[in-house]
Amino acid sequence: MSVQTEFKAFSDRIKLDYDVRSELASKRDILIQKLRDSGDLPGFDKYDQGSYGMHLGTEPVEDREYDIDVGLRFNVNKSDYTPMQLKETICNILENHTEYGAKIKKPCVTVTYKKNGEPSYHVDLVVYTYDDKTDTQSQMYLARGKNKDSDETCWEKSDPVGLVNYINDAVEKGEERDQFRRCIRYLKRWKNIRFSSNGHAEPASIGITLIAADYFEYIKDDDLSALKKLTDKIISLFEKKTYDLEGGRWLYRLTYPMPDSLNFESNTDAFGKMTDIQMTDFKDKIEKLYRDLQNVEKEPDEVEQCSMLQKIFGDDFNIPESDSVSKKQFNYIPASSASGGSL
């Protein structure tokens, strides 16, 4: 087994197959139907977004929940409703749907489900309206806010369909796109292990995905090199910002706006929720990842390479039996030896 074979097997293990995890899709469909049947909402179209729509779903680590993002594109003008009206109506319809009920968050309404006595997965319902409901190509707006009295509550320009298409069309279909998606999954698993899920300590997946969409370079049959190159690019985007007197160190930021070709608010930063200290922690950890990948690349023994990679990515990265590697090498007889001649 080669390291490349083990990388692909690792990707298969951590890839979240929504068809296999049909319970997620089933719960989503039940929620959608309940909203439609309530008679309390205007008509809407469902749109799969996030990692589901981008084919980048990754199995969560032990302390994380499964999730699925669903866009609800209401066939109304944004001027017909305040940002909270539709979210509050959705929350009221679903408040007793599960033991945890529905909860309004800034970007969505979340419905959480329990399994074996613990929160296990959730569905995020994101509310959108149109600038002009008679033109489905007109500007879309996301209902941002947790309550009607907050200054942050607003209709925010958004382009969910354009974003999914931007990611899905970033790399040519085939092995190049497959490697692109695998490398994003590797980084998502790495950050799930290395960062706390509390607050905004963990870098946003969409930020990493956008950087990959803009800078990923395909390297045939070599996920390790492609991942190392992408990691190096991410590091290069950090800029020194301020000196932290209390911590005695420079703080850095990686600012990554949404693509100019898409119709988002002009000041939307994919990593904007992270503090400078959290961002500097991201820089320190991804620099260590790069050094670790360099060391893996330099290691001549494939079994040891996989052992090093397991320390980076967790137990889902397999370490092959050393006998299988040595046996493959032992059984190899060069053609020149078989013929008794030399080249």
CATH architecture of the domain 16-169 equals 2-Layer Sandwich (3.30)
**pTM for this entry:** 0.89
Residue 209 CB-half CA count within 13 A:
27
Owner of token pair 């068809």 = 19
pLDDT of residue 18: 66
Q: What percentage of the chain has pLDDT greater than the value 70? A: 92
What are 78-115's pLDDT values in tens digits? 999 999 999 999 999 999 998 888 999 999 999 998 87
Task: Quote the DSSP letter at residue 200.
Answer: T
Alpha-carbon gap, residue 64 to 202, rounded angstroms: 12
Domain boundaries for CATH 3.30.460.90 within the chain: 16-169
State how far the Cα of 311 lies from the Cα of 190, in Å rounded to an integer.
Answer: 10
pLDDT band at 21 (very low <50, low <70, confident <90, very high): low
pLDDT in tens, 38-79: 999 999 999 989 998 999 999 988 878 888 899 999 999 999
In this prediction, residue 156 carries a pLDDT of 96
Structure tokens at 281: 């922690």
